[in-house]
Amino acid sequence: GKTRTMMERIGKLVIEHGVAPEQILGLTFTRNAAEEMRQRLIPVLGNQAARVTLSTIHSFCHYLLRSEGRIFEILSGRDQLVFIRNVMKELKVKNLSVGMIMREISLAKNNLISVEEFKTLFTEDKTMLKIADVYDLYDREKARKFLMDFDDLLVDTCRLLHDNPSIKSKYTDRYLHLLIDEYQDTNPVQVEILKT
């Protein structure tokens, strides 16, 4: 229902209100959903469907960062696990699972909590302070090696748009219509990007 409504709304914007397809940005959360949106838009807009930007929020952030000259590789999956495990070894962090540490770091980033804020939040919790140390070194090592994880795509895009009014206006001027599929599933960093 929601995806269909979104496609019909895009169709109305283009056909009935004369909005240029290039001025529409449709975001969703999975590649499959983005592809499904594209397929559903073809019968509505025909050849013009390809001119509408339909993407996952992570893919859009990846595109935006690359377009603005950021150079990086994505760190994900097994490589990310190994990377964090190596950071843990370097810091001699034991008795904590890699999965737990990854979840806590991801949760912090998705709530726009920096390493410093993380340490302040958990001054009395030794376990969380160990995780803060991993978070800190993990981020520094990634930056040194020009790596980003999926959460960094969001955080860095948010920072870039917030700190650079000219870059922000470039995208707000380009995309006059923003439609989000499954908006209720957005987290704080995603909401900040969308509000910007």
Q: Examine the pLDDT at 61 and tell me if it is beyond 90.
A: yes
Cβ contact 126:118 at 8 Å: no
Predicted confidence (pLDDT) at residue 185 exceeds the cutoff of 90: no
Residues 127-146 have a mean pLDDT of 97
Over residues 118-138, mean pLDDT: 96
Stretch 137-158: mean pLDDT, rounded? 97
Q: Which two tokens stand for residue 103?
A: 């979840």
pTM: 0.92
Residue closest to 195 by CA, chosen among 161, 156, 167: 161
Residue 23: in which H helix or E strand, if any?
none
- Provide the pLDDT for residue 1: 67
Q: Please write the tens of the pLDDT for every residue from 36-50.
A: 889 999 999 999 999
pLDDT of residue 159: 96
pLDDT digits (tens, 9 = 90+) for 67-98: 999 999 999 999 999 999 999 999 999 999 99
Bridge partner residues of 148 (DSSP): 74
